[in-house]
Structures are given as C-alpha cells and as structure tokens.
Homo-oligomer: A and B are copies of this chain.
Amino acid sequence: MNDHVQSGNGRNLDNAEWRAAIEDALDRPDSEPMFNLRDDGEGVYDTIFIGGGAAGRFGSAYLRAMGGRPLVIDRWPFLGGSCPHQACVPHHLFSEAAALLDRSRWFSGELFFPEFDESKASILALVELFRRGRGSAHAFMNWQTQSQLEVEFVLNAAAEVIDRNTVRAAGRTFHTEGLVIGLGAYQKPLTCPGADLAGVLDWATLIEELDYEPESCVIVGGGKVAVEYGSFFQSTGCQTTIVSRSPLLRTGSLHHVDEDIRRYLLDGMRLRGMTVLEGSGLVEIEGVDGRARRVRICDADGRERVLECDLVFNATGERPNSDEVVRTLGLQTGPNGEILVDARMQTNVEGVYAVGDVIGPPMEMFKARKCGMTAARNIAGDPFEFDFSEYPDFLHSTYEVTWVGLSEDEAREQFDDVTVIQMPPKGIEHEIPLPCAEGTMLYAFTRPELTGLLKCVIDGSSRRVLGFHHIGYGAKDAFQYLDYLLRRPEGLTIDELGEMNELFLNPEHFIQLSRLRAGRRELVDL
C-alpha cells in the first residue's frame, strides 16, 4: 500500500506529489496500489465504478456530489483513462503542431517567418514531449478527484468483479449495492499478414512504443483518426498515404459530414502532399528484419499496389473492452462487443450500469462523461435519460472542422425548401478572403483560398436552422451551444440568430450572415 495517498494520514497529496507517485508507479512493474479510502474502505458502497476514465470519473464525482458513496477502481495509477494518457490530449497536441507546421510551410521566408526547416519537424520529438509531460495532467486528475471532488478510489490495481455486489482489487474485497462498468475501448488490431511487425502502430502504441523518426507512413482507415494523425504526420514531412475502404469520412460511425466541407478538407489534404486512396483495402504488410517496410493494397480498380513506408498506422476503429466483465455478470452485448444499455445506462442486469466507450460509439468525451452522470443520477434516485443520437461533432486536419445537425444533402432529402447561407459564396470560393478571423487573418491577406468554409442550412418554411458546418479555426467552442439551441423543442430560427450579438470578427459568421437575410419573408441563399 502507498502510505502517501492512504486515507487516515490526514493530508491529501498536492499536484507535485501526485505526479511523482504516478510516474514512479508507471516506471515500476511491481508498484503498489494507491488507496484513497474513507473508513479504510469498510462498509457498503452505493456503487463501484469499474474503470476510472472519463465516464467513471465524472459518474463517481456526480454521485458523490449528490451525497452518495461511490468507489472508483482503475488498473492505471491515474484517473481520466486513455484521454490524457494516449488519446485526446496527445491528439490535440499533435494537431496544434500540425496547424503550426502547416502555417510555417506556407509562409516560409515571408514576413516574419523564417525559411521552413523540415529537418526540425519531428514526430518522435513531439511524442517524447507528450510522454514527458503527460504526468502533470494525470496528477491533476487525481488531485482534483481526491481534494475537490472527494471521491474514494483504488488505483494501479485491476478490479476483479466477483458479482454485482462484490469486487476484489489490490488484495482486498469491496462491497457495493451495484456496479458501473466503464472499461473503455481498445484499438482493433489489424488482421492481415504482417500486422505484428514492428512499425505497425496505432494511437496508443504510437505513444508507448515509437522510437524512430518515420519518413513515410501508410494509414489504414477512413475516419477521424486517419485524418487527424495523417495530417499531423504529413505536416512534419513524413510522406503519408491514407488507405480507406469507404470514401474518407463516410464511415459508419460518422454522420452529418457536409459534402462541401468534406471536399474542402480532402482537397486541402491533397494540396499539402498527402495521398488519399479511397475504395482501397489493405492486403498485406511486408517487413525487413522484423520491421514494416511496405504495404500491399487492393485499390479502387481492383489492382494490387505496393506502397513503401516505414510506419503503418492502424486507424480502423475501436472495440469495447467488455469481454471479462460480460462473462462474469452475464451482460448482453451488441455485434461488436458493446454492452447494451437503455437510456438510463442500465444493462440487462439489475443494478449494473455501463458507460462510455464500452457501450459503443460515438466514442466521444461528452458521451462518456454524460453517461457517467446519467448512471449516477439514476443510481441516486433521480430518473434521467440520455439520448446521444444527435450531438455536435469535430475533427482536426491542419484545420478545425466542426459540425452539428443536418448536412446540406441530408436537408434537401428531408425538406422541400432549403436555404443555404455560406461563406465564401458558391461560385467565388477562391477569390475572396472570407471567412476570416483569428487563425486565418494572415491567410486572408496572402492566400484567400486557405481561409476555410462555413455553411448554415435552413428550412425556409419554418425558418429553423437544420445544420451548421465550419472548417477553419476558432469555431469549435461555439458549436456546443449551437447544438443546445438547435435541439430545443422550438429550435433556432434565422430570425433569432440575426438578433444575437456577434463578437466580430467571429470565426463562424452565422449571426451576421443570418441578419443579412432575416428581413426577407421568403428566404433565399446567401
């Protein structure tokens, strides 16, 4: 047991102490469990959260805030799960680097930008930066959960679920009224020959294992992860090819991607030197001395092609981490192993809830956290349902791409009278330096075709907005609230938008563009 974090010592750890404890635990295979327990963990918990990732951490915090007594158990020595360790946080770090590198290339030798030196743009250096620094986010999660949220936890210890009222961890037995399963998901491995060669990585193993500088990469997959990591790799000078069975961003787990936005994104990736092979499938990875060196694919015309590379990046999607607990508890699952739950996150077993990635897509942060909250409220006797069939969505290329609601094509299928307000206007896309705001001002004055694209799709008869779409910078945050406004029973009309207060220059220009048309009884495009 780790005395420093044990209950009863009268003092919580500060952030620096947590960081040292976590890094020590990660470094030593035999490191001790960490206990943060009231009453030494005796008595019966209201619920035990199996897994302390986003869903478990937010769920337990919510239940504790409501006066309940949750316990969180995680095999890692930190709370927060894969997000700050291997997933969202490094992806954001890499995407920020990609946007900066992209700008440095476009402006090489112009204005205050020096000649771009590709030799300094290193994937490995950024992975190492992340590895060195991730401990501070881990420490904060533990500190906040212990000192601000007052949640009990056992870390650095695998939970063994005995039954729905009994969990063993770190050599001890904990008693509980019920369980919340939040075990997350893992990258589905490639299954073709050569999938186990060195240099075949994914978002998790990239962080843990990369020890060389990749010079050329083949990415397998056509969703967000493929675009995000591909854009990052390419921005560093690592020649990148995306091999995708579906058209890019037309995979099953993504909805509402507008075709004009997709086209702008895809054109931009190709403009920056990336190769995107849609309708193509991976056949085999070939190695030299145990390392991946080339990839055989079957292209859209059915021909075999060989791509040289020293990194194969698997972006084919994730699978829920559900096997063991499903067997023990007799939980019902869907075709991909996702635990089936109702809108209250209740599984088929009374008293057992499941939350986050383990219940299947969308494997997004908001869903994980709100699943946790939903389970907590129902456990605490506050009936609450969570429908995540509609939500705002986002990805990075070297741009930020954000959308909510219907795409233009979807809207035209469902409504007779669709009005589109967009910038730049259709037909003069490359001529004018709009949209522009923070992040695209320099482009506006030098390369107007790089300033992005935005679109607002409206039902002319009800005057209600059906969808918002943006590629550029700085609009992501707004879409959280646009989502809320769109999903109100009364929706959001062009008239209400036109009466709002814009903060000019606002990255998405929806308010002022709406105002230019809202005076018309019969709406027309802009």
Contacts and interface: CB of A to CB of B under 8 A. Distances in A.
A91 to B, nearest CB: 9
A401 to B, nearest CB: 11
Interface stretch (A41-49, A302-310, A332-340, A507-515): A507-515
Contacts of A508: 477
Contact of A62 (B126, B400, B444, B519): B519
Interface stretch (A155-163, A267-275, A496-504): A496-504
Interface of A is mostly: helix
Interface string A222-240: 0000000000000010000
Given A120-B111, A133-B445, A136-B433, A428 B15 contact: yes
Given A101-B112, A133-B446, A483-B501, A516 B58 contact: yes
How many of chain A's residues touch chain B, expressed as a range? Answer: 35 or more
A501 B480 contact: yes
A506 interface: yes
A484 B500 contact: yes
A394 interface: yes
A272 to B, nearest CB: 16
Interface stretch (A210-218, A292-300, A353-361, A365-373): A365-373
Contacts of A130: 445
A100 B111 CA distance: 12
Contacts of A101: 112
Given A120-B112, A503-B394, A512-B369, A438 B92 contact: yes
A42 to B, nearest CB: 24
Interface string A91-115: 0110111011101100000011110
A51 interface: no
Contacts of A466: none
A82 to B, nearest CB: 13
Chain B CB within 10 A, most for which of A14, A473, A496: A473
A501 B93 CA distance: 22
A505 B89 contact: yes
A477 B503 contact: yes
A151 to B, nearest CB: 10
B481 A515 contact: no
B114 A120 contact: yes
A117 to B, nearest CB: 6
A477 B475 contact: yes
A499 B477 CA distance: 16
Specify which of A58, A114, A478, A498 lies most central, judged by the most chain B CB atoms within 10 Å of its CB: A478
A476 B394 contact: no
A148 interface: yes
Contact of A501 (B391, B428, B511): B391
B111 A515 contact: no
B480 A517 contact: no
A485 B478 CA distance: 12
Contacts of A526: 148
Nearest to A502: B366
Given A136-B432, A434-B140, A439-B96, A373 B498 contact: yes
Nearest to A16: B431
Given A136-B433, A482-B481, A501-B366, A58 B512 contact: yes
A504 B92 CA distance: 10
A503 to B, nearest CB: 5
Nearest to A380: B519
A125 interface: yes
A425 to B, nearest CB: 7
A63 B520 CA distance: 9
Contact of A117 (B114, B400, B504): B114
Interface in A111-164: 111-114, 117, 120-122, 125-126, 129-130, 132-133, 136-137, 139-140, 144, 148-149
Interface string A458-474: 00000000000000011
A65 B473 contact: no
Contacts of A285: none
A129 B110 CA distance: 11
Interface string A339-379: 00000000000000000000000001110011001001100
Given A92-B436, A139-B432, 18 more contacts: A14-B428, A62-B518, A65-B517, A97-B112, A99-B438, A100-B103, A100-B442, A132-B445, A133-B444, A140-B432, A370-B515, A373-B498, A476-B503, A477-B507, A480-B500, A480-B502, A481-B500, A483-B500
18 contacts: A58-B516, A65-B519, A65-B520, A89-B505, A92-B438, A92-B505, A93-B445, A101-B112, A112-B122, A112-B236, A133-B445, A136-B432, A137-B444, A366-B511, A369-B502, A369-B512, A477-B477, A480-B500
